[in-house]
């Protein structure tokens, strides 16, 4: 095994790590040719990352939207250690264990969908793949196959082939076009501060109603990112629109899947986004914050009637899906510890405070005419750099990201969309600092 760092006295720790990284690692969603130097992170605590030269940075994106309670959370770390010493892993086909059962029970209770089952997997993409396969095989097992899927325009649901098909309209997966199955999309009327798209919502819903009247029985499922579409630019839509769209789907017996990989676990202010709507979905896809942002875990929560459709005297009707690390006890223990932290006194008040700090920052920036479509929901704040290219790969937000990192703030704009999504432990002064840095950058442009 290589030593922690090369012994070349001419290299600093940071230089040594970056050199070795360059020789051996392929990073996600990165064009390596011409890429900026990677940030060599050595440790983290709370909302702060520390690099190998002891410089500190505010983690204003929760390390890709996963971290809830802050880095280095003692309660989660202790739960992981205790579980690793007791039972580290066991296969989950023909076996069960208490951490998995307790987690499934807790998720079912918190989702408020009634009786159901939880299928545990590895990440957000696999949670979506499970829901997709359940929806398609559900109709197959009933003897009336349906093969088409309905999704929101611009949606993103992960990077496995089924998930890519659902998110093909996002533009992320053009290289794999020949592998993707056809998905029908519904336009999404976006909302932001001062903009209420009621008339546009009605127009879209009328079109969906007419389409479903003609072809509604073709669709095996509707899948949505509820209230906030993440990777396509933190685009918000209204509870009114979402509830009406899902009710239309149910009117034509189309199961509804809520992809709450990002929105779950109070990111939007309630345990799940579905609790803010007048509609209860048939399935929930969960990941990211499920373990507090410490270990990879996915979960698909399914209403009982879908599970029952897979019962029978032959394996042919069973769900032939699984993962080597399904229901890993250590990840389940981390998730249970995170869920306990969600219930502590003062948690809701802290969320409200974070949301108010973000709202105040967006409001202050809104005085600059270059800042458009400001919006805040729960602990997500976003705005757009007016007149810039909105495509993810266009890089219009990269100069701001570089400037912010040099000043100790980590953000990762989505094209021209700048967003802040800090851990719930963030302090008011840290949020204020992030907005100060953004203001400094605007003043220089």
Residues 6+ apart with CB under 8 A from 437: 403, 404, 407, 408, 409
Q: Look up 288 and say whether it is catalytic.
A: yes
Phi, psi for 150 (deg, rounded to 5): -110, 135
Q: In this structure, are residues 333 and 340 in contact, taking their beta carbons and an 8 Å threshold? A: no
Q: Look up 325 and say whether it is catalytic.
A: no
Q: In this structure, are residues 249 and 222 in contact, taking their beta carbons and an 8 Å threshold? A: yes
Among 57, 59, 266, 288, the one annotated catalytic: 288
Among 156, 266, 392, 424, the one annotated catalytic: 156
The token duo for 35 is: 């890429």
Q: Look up 156 and say whether it is catalytic.
A: yes
* Radius of gyration of the chain measured on its C-alpha atoms: 22
Beta strands at 380-385 and 48-51: parallel, antiparallel or unpaired: unpaired
Alpha helices in 35-160 (DSSP H): 62-65, 74-86, 98-111, 124-141
Among 8, 29, 45, 389, the one annotated catalytic: 29
Strand order across the 183-186 sheet: 116-121, 298-303, 283-286, 256-259, 219-224, 148-152, 183-186
Q: Look up 419 and say whether it is catalytic.
A: no
Phi, psi for 284 (deg, rounded to 5): -120, 130
H/E run at residue 258: strand 256-259
Beta strands at 148-152 and 219-224: parallel, antiparallel or unpaired: parallel
Among 259, 266, 282, 419, the one annotated catalytic: 259
Catalytic (active-site) positions:
29, 156, 259, 288
């Amino acid at each position: 095994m290589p030593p922690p760092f090369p012994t070349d006295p001419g290299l600093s720790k940071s230089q040594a790590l970056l050199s070795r990284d360059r020789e051996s690692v392929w990073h996600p969603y990165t064009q390596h040719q011409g890429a900026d130097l990677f940030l060599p992170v050595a440790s983290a605590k709370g909302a702060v990352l520390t690099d190998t030269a002891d410089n500190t940075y505010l983690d204003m994106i929760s390390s890709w939207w996963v971290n809830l309670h802050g880095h280095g959370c003692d309660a989660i770390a202790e739960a992981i250690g205790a579980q690793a010493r007791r039972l580290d892993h066991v296969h989950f086909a023909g076996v069960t264990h208490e951490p998995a059962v307790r987690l499934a029970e807790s998720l079912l209770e918190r989702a408020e969908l009634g009786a159901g089952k939880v299928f545990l997997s590895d990440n957000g993409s696999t949670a979506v793949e499970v829901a997709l396969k359940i929806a398609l095989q559900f109709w197959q097992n009933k003897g009336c196959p349906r093969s088409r899927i309905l999704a929101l325009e611009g949606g993103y649901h992960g990077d496995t082939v089924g998930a890519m098909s659902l998110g093909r309209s996002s533009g992320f997966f053009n290289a794999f076009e020949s592998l993707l199955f056809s998905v029908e999309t519904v336009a999404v009327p976006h909302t932001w501060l001062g903009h209420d798209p009621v008339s546009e919502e009605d127009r879209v819903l009328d079109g969906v109603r007419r389409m479903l009247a003609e072809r509604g029985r073709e669709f095996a499922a509707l899948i949505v990112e509820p209230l906030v579409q993440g990777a396509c630019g933190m685009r918000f839509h209204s509870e009114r629109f979402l509830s009406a769209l899902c009710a239309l789907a149910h009117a034509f017996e189309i199961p509804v899947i809520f992809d709450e990989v990002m929105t779950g676990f109070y990111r939007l202010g309630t345990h799940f986004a579905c609790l803010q709507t007048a509609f209860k979905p048939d399935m929930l896809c969960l990941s990211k914050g499920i373990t507090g942002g410490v270990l990879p875990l996915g979960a698909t929560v399914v209403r009982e009637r879908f599970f029952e459709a897979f019962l029978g005297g032959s394996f042919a009707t069973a769900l032939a899906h699984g993962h080597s690390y399904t229901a890993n006890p250590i990840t389940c223990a981390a998730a249970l510890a995170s869920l306990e932290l969600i219930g502590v006194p003062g948690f809701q008040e802290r969320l409200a405070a974070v949301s108010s700090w973000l709202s105040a920052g967006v409001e202050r920036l809104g005085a600059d005419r270059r800042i458009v479509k400001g919006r805040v929901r729960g602990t997500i704040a976003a705005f757009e750099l007016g007149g810039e290219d909105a495509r993810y790969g266009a890089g219009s937000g990269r100069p701001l990201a570089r400037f912010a990192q040099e000043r100790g703030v980590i953000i990762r704009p989505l094209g021209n969309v700048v967003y802040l999504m800090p851990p719930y432990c963030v302090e008011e002064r840290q949020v204020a600092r992030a907005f100060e840095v953004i203001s400094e950058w605007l003043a220089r442009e």
